Amino acid sequence: MDEIKLLDVVALIENLDSEGLRRGEVGTVVEEWKDGVFEVEFSDNSGKTYAFAALRPDQLIKLHFRKDEAA
């Protein structure tokens, strides 16, 4: 499993009803707190932040993106 670090793009793997967030929502790690807890910022398509949440690594999956190869 890839280690999550600052500025990684992550997705929730569970609903967080208390935060109003659903499984699959995508955010960016903006801070790492002690004990391995991450502050994740959730933004809409225009870049406007709609939520912050302090989350454990077991609540997240790191997303990977491939660059398209030149044709």
| 31 belongs to a structural domain | yes
Q: How far apart are CA 60 and CA 38, in angstroms?
A: 10
pLDDT for residue 35: 87
Residues 7-21: tens digit of each pLDDT: 999 999 999 999 999
Report the number of distinct structural domains present in the chain: 1
More confident residue, 43 or 65: 43
Say yes or no to pLDDT of 43 above 80: yes
| 68 belongs to a structural domain | no
CATH of the domain at 49: 2.30.30
Question: Strands 38-43 and 60-62, how do they pair?
Answer: unpaired
Cα-Cα end-to-end distance for the chain: 32
Q: Which domain holds residue 52?
A: 9-62
- H helices then E strands: how many in the chain? 0, 5
- pTM, two decimals, is 0.87
| 67 belongs to a structural domain | no
| 52 belongs to a structural domain | yes
- Model confidence at 69, pLDDT cuts 50, 70, 90, reads low
